[in-house]
Structure formats: C-alpha cells, structure tokens
Amino acid sequence: MRLLSCVQGLEYKIIKGDIDNDVTGVAFDSREVKPGYIFVAVKGFKVDGHDYVKKAIENGASTVIISRPIDIDYITHQAIIEVADTRVALAYIASRYYGEPTKKMNVIGITGTNGKTSISYFIKSLLDTLSAKTGVIGTMGTWIGNQKIDTPNTTPESLTLQQIASQMVEADVEYCIMEVSSHALDLHRVSFCHFDSGIFTNLTPDHLELHKDMTQYYRAKEKLFYMTEKTNIINIDDLYGKKMYDTLQEKSDVQCLSYGLKSNADVWAKDIEYTAEYSLYTAVTPQGEIPIRVNIPGEIYIYNTLAVVAWAISEGIEQKVISSGIEALKGVKGRFETVYQDNDYKVVVDFAHTEDGLEKALDTLRQFVKGRLLLVFGVYAAPGLIGLDKRTAMGKVAAQKSDFAFITSDNPKEQDPVQIIEDVVTSFKQYSKNYVTVVDRKVAIEEALESMKPGDVLLIAGKGHETSQVVGKEDIPFNEAEIVKSKMKVIRKDK
Ligand SMILES: CC(=O)N[C@H]1[C@@H](OP(=O)(O)OP(=O)(O)OC[C@H]2O[C@@H](n3ccc(=O)[nH]c3=O)[C@H](O)[C@@H]2O)O[C@H](CO)[C@@H](O)[C@@H]1O[C@H](C)C(=O)N[C@@H](C)C(=O)N[C@H](CCC(=O)O)C(=O)O
Ligand SMILES: Nc1ncnc2c1ncn2[C@@H]1O[C@H](COP(=O)(O)OP(=O)(O)OP(=O)(O)O)[C@@H](O)[C@H]1O
C-alpha cells in the first residue's frame, strides 16, 4: 500500500524524507518492525515509543510517525512525519491500512463497568441460533467463529483491533461483538471504528487510576455513543445511564432504546421469577412481549439480557429467535459458575471484582442460601488513595453481605499482598468480625471448603474465568474450578 494513501485525510507535517513510497506493514512496537514498515511512536505508561525510533529504523522502518521532536541527524532516507497525537494517527493508519474492515460488518460495541462479557456471549448465542457468523472481541480473548486468538487486553490496541477486524472480514464474519473498555475509548484504540450499535450497562467505581474520577470515567464511556451509526441501547436504571440517555436524546440523531426493570423504559421486564439456577421473565418491548429464560441466576442477568433483547429488536430479529437464543446459553465461564454442588454444599466462582459486582453476587446468592454465605475474595487495585478506596469499599460490602469471609490475594501483581489484605481488613472489621486472612489464595479456598457445613454456600469472587494468578511479574497457573474439585474429592472421602 502507498504511504500517501495511509495518511490521506490525517493532519500531518513532513519533517524529513519522501512520503510517496510503498509500505509493507505498520507497527507501534520497534521489535515488530520489518523492512518497509511504518513505525508509530506511542508514549506508553512505562516507556515512550519515541525512544525506540532508532531501533525501529535499524529493523527496517521506512517511515516514522512522531508527536514530539526527536534526534533525526542519523536518519538518512526514511520519512519522518509529525502529528499531534500518535495514538490517533495509529488508529487512523491502521484502519486505512486494513481497508476499514469495521465498515464491512455489523459491529456491536458494549461498554459499562460490568456486564460487557456476559452480554457479548448472550448476543453470540442468539446469533448462533440464526447460524450467523460472529466474531467476539473481549476479556475472554478474541474469537473468529471457533478459532481463538489470544489478546492481552479486553479491547486491543487499534492496530491489533483493525487487523483482527480484517481477519474477521476475510472469514465472512457478519457480526463483530466487541467489548469496548474505557481504556480503549480514552486511548484511541477504537477511534475510526464504525459501530452500528452501542450498549451501555452501568457505571460504578473502577479503573479510576486511569480516569481519576467518575466524571472522567463517564466521559470516556460516553464517547462510544457518539460513534454509533444505527442504535444506542442504554440502561436507564443506572444513574449515569439515565444521564446518558437524556443527553443522547438531545444531542444524537441515532435511534436510542432504553432498558430497565421498570415500565418507563422502552424494553423492560415484568413477571420476574427468580430461582437459584435460572430466572424467568417477560420482556416488554415496543414490538410486543417476549418470554425469556436466563440460565444464570440473579437480577443482573435480567439487566444483561434486557440489553440483548433491546439490541435484537432494533435489528428486527424474530421474537422466537430472541427467546431461544438467550435460553440456549447455559452459562458463561467464571460468571456465577457453579463449580461444585451436592446435597449439602454449593460453590460458585464469579468474576465480581468491583464493589458493585461483589454486592450483586452476594445479594443473588443470599436469596437462596439455607446455611451461611461464605466468601473468598481479594482485591487488586492500583497503589495510592484510589486503590485504597477500592479496598475499603470492597471490604465493607464483603463484611455487610457475607456471613464469614476468607480475605486473600487476587492478582497482587507488583504490590505487597499483605498490605492489600491489611487495607481490606481495616475496612472489613468496622462492620464484622467474621473473617480470617490467608495470603495464599489456594490455601484460602481450601480452608473455606473445609469450614463448610451442610446448607452453606461458598462464593469465590474476583478471578472468574482466569486461569493464572499474577504475583510479582510471574503468571502462575491457577484454576479455581480445579482447586475446588480436587479439594472436595478429599473432603467427601473423609466424611
Ligand atoms: C496500562 C496500559 O493500558 N498498558 C497497555 C500499554 O502498555 P504500556 O503503556 O505499558 O506500554 P509501554 O511498555 O510503556 O510501551 C510504550 C510504547 O513503546 C513501545 N515499545 C516498547 C518497548 C520497545 O522495546 N519498543 C517499543 O517500541 C511499545 O510497543 C508501546 O507502543 O500498551 C500495551 C500494548 O497495547 C497494552 O497491552 C498494555 O495493556 C496492559 C496489558 C494492561 O494491563 N492494560 C489494562 C490497564 C487495560 O487496558 N485494561 C482495559 C480494561 C479491562 C477491563 O475490562 O477491565 C482493557 O481494555 O484491557
Ligand atoms: N449488569 C451487571 N451489574 C452489576 N454487576 C454485574 C453485571 N453483570 C455482571 N456483573 C458482575 O461483574 C462480573 C463481570 O461480569 P462481566 O465479565 O460480564 O463484565 P465485564 O464488563 O465484561 O467486566 P470486565 O470488563 O472486568 O471484563 C460478573 O462476574 C458479575 O459479578
């Protein structure tokens, strides 16, 4: 592809060299550069890509895109282009280089603090019922049909995202279901993507180490709904959702459908019946009433499936397909997943890793527990006051909503796990004395299982589908379902 055509439409200044040449690829990591590539220098959280320009040129870059002055004395024939923001330029160039693939599929963007993954798998299930070809991009990796591509982020960097989208187009994917994180919106990972629909779930404190406060977090999420071309779907029972819905009514021409549990929403739920394994309800929509069975218990999955119903009716999907597609999903890995159950005990693994998620998971289980509600949890949060706020909030919810907690490690990464636990305990013990601390998460799970009495339910919260624990810089294999299964074998044999 011609370099000129990659940058056409972008505001730029040529610092040096000729830009009427061919490019063989694009990279934002000097280590990935091959002869003839464009290297886009991005300032990251640890290092600045501008410091790797020399390395990129040694590896064969023919063009370098920068946003601040660099030493160019040693550069002989390569083109140096300056732009205001290299993340924007990377997204733009990536989209053009791969032929604007998001224009060629129906792209559904899902954002909000919690519920994105679950909603994406419900939409996938519905589309599977229609035998439509789907691609999924999210926390559980990228899927093109049944082929999995591992991606380090929920929403990948723009270059990776556009490349994945072009692979999806090649594979005849009709619907690309994408979790859109606030990081992605803020860091231009999804800039120049074409979204048909956008879904907003809820906004509660998370990721404040990046966004600093809830207003900025909201501003980041909001961006998605000004990028959509067909429909916006908003949870108006959420305070931020209501604000977004009202603002969109004023400022956007795109169709907007609200959802919620009450009749003031366009799509809402009536006749809800909760059980420990599933819920039943009637979705009331502008196109009539649809009976829904959700095979994951709890109110949050009524919300998540209402979003799916709203999206499906906006697409003109038949009511029968909506019912059967939602019912066809038997569960989502690590989302309220019962990993052990017999007549006496039940153990549930859930990815609840925010104050809101933890509260909702404990509330859901509380309705059906006959004995005690036990909890194993830890908190990963950023250092400093923002991290401390999260630990304090989660400690409080855990103390108020569980009968006994095993406070342990989540993914401590490079922070001191003992200090994290101490911070959680400082908050927890103001509300309850029913806890122990166990730094080793595996030991905490095993001790919790040993302590169970008939009728008790144990919630293991925080890591959900994850299969490793990040301690220091190490990624240690860690599978909670396996730990529970093997420990329960021993416990059952002993009794
Ligand atoms: C904090 C954060 O967002 N970090 C992301 C970021 O890494 P970074 O800023 O540390 O990168 P860096 O090491 O400083 O490098 C800066 C630049 O120099 C370049 N470089 C670096 C070294 C070198 O030798 N040559 C070179 O060119 C790098 O390629 C990069 O372009 O850029 C990387 C490449 O795109 C991301 O994978 C990485 O995400 C990490 C894994 C991460 O944990 N991100 C989280 C915070 C995140 O994005 N989460 C959201 C939300 C998840 C949720 O739903 O809860 C997500 O969408 O995943
Ligand atoms: N609608 C909801 N409201 C509040 N909490 C929810 C909701 N849906 C899911 N959760 C909680 O959040 C956890 C994560 O759910 P899910 O993976 O669907 O969200 P997510 O937005 O993709 O999260 P992440 O961005 O961290 O991957 C669940 O395990 C559950 O505890």
Same structural domain for residues 76 and 184? no
Specify the ligand 2 atom closest to the Cα of 201: 1
Same structural domain for residues 122 and 59? no
CATH number of the domain bearing residue 252: 3.40.1190.10
Q: Is 16 strand, coil or helix?
A: strand
Q: Which of 289, 304, 328 is the last residue of a domain?
A: 328
Q: How far apart (Å, rounded) are the C-alpha atoms in residues 116 and 198?
A: 11
Ligand nearest to the CA of residue 86, numbered in listed order: 1
Q: Which of 328, 357, 392 is the last residue of a domain?
A: 328
Domain that holds residue 12: 3-97
Residues with C-beta less than 6 Å from any ligand 2 atom: 114-118, 139, 154, 179, 201-202, 300, 303-304, 335, 350-352, 356-357, 360-361, 464
Q: Which of 39, 192, 173, 198 is nearest to 112 (CA)?
A: 198
pLDDT of residue 207: 72
CB 233 within 8 A of CB 307: yes
Same structural domain for residues 347 and 243? no
Q: How far apart (Å, rounded) are the C-alpha atoms in residues 279 and 256?
A: 27
Going by alpha carbons, the residue nearest to atom 27 of ligand 2 is 139
Count of the separate structural domains present in the chain: 3
Q: Which pTM was predicted?
A: 0.94
Compute, in degrees rounded to 10, the torsion defined by CA atoms 107, 108, 113, 118.
Answer: -120
Find the distance separating the first CA and the last CA of the chain, reported in whole Å: 69
Q: How far apart (Å, rounded) are the C-alpha atoms in residues 180 and 269?
A: 26
Same structural domain for residues 357 and 307? no
Same structural domain for residues 90 and 108? no
CATH number of the domain bearing residue 355: 3.90.190.20
Tokens 């019946």: give the residue: 273
Same structural domain for residues 368 and 280? no
Same structural domain for residues 401 and 306? no
CB 405 within 8 A of CB 434: yes
Is 155 annotated in some ligand binding site? yes
Same structural domain for residues 161 and 274? yes
CA 349 to chain centroid, in Å, comes to 18
157 in contact with ligand 1, CB cutoff 6 A: yes
Residues in the chain: 495
Specify the ligand 2 atom closest to the Cα of 358: 31
Contacts of 287 (CB under 8 A, 6+ apart): 313, 319
pLDDT of residue 211: 64
Same structural domain for residues 214 and 169? yes
Going by alpha carbons, the residue nearest to atom 15 of ligand 2 is 115
Ligand 1 mean position, distance from CA 15 (Å): 27
Is 285 annotated in some ligand binding site? no
CB atoms within 10 A of CB 155: 26
Same structural domain for residues 168 and 54? no
Q: Which residues in the chain land under pLDDT 50?
A: none
The sign one gets for the Cα dihedral 154, 159, 161, 164 is negative
User: 474-477 and 468-471: which strand pairing?
Assistant: antiparallel
Q: Which of 97, 120, 149 is the last residue of a domain?
A: 97
Residue among 139, 153, 201 to mutate when testing ligand 1 (max atoms within 8 A of CB): 153
209 in contact with ligand 1, CB cutoff 6 A: no
CA-to-CA dists, residue 137 to 179, 180, 181, 217, 305, angstroms: 6, 9, 11, 21, 19
Ligand 1 mean position, distance from CA 157 (Å): 8
13, two tokens? 């200044």
Ligand 1 mean position, distance from CA 45 (Å): 7
Going by alpha carbons, the residue nearest to atom 8 of ligand 2 is 115
Q: Which residues pair with 64 in a beta bridge?
A: 39, 80
Going by alpha carbons, the residue nearest to atom 16 of ligand 1 is 44
49 in contact with ligand 1, CB cutoff 6 A: yes
CATH number of the domain bearing residue 46: 3.40.1390.10
Transcribe 170-182 into DSSP letters.
HTT--EEEEE--H
Ligand 1 mean position, distance from CA 485 (Å): 35
Ligand 1 mean position, distance from CA 47 (Å): 10
Residue among 110, 116, 118 to mutate when testing ligand 2 (max atoms within 8 A of CB): 118
Ligand nearest to the CA of residue 201, numbered in listed order: 2
Same structural domain for residues 115 and 252? yes
Quote the ipTM score: 0.95
Same structural domain for residues 268 and 352? no
Residue among 351, 379, 394 to mutate when testing ligand 2 (max atoms within 8 A of CB): 351
Ligand nearest to the CA of residue 177, numbered in listed order: 2
pLDDT tens digits for range 198-238: 999 999 877 777 767 889 989 999 999 999 999 999 999 99
Helical H segments across 377-465, by residue range: 384-401, 417-428, 441-450
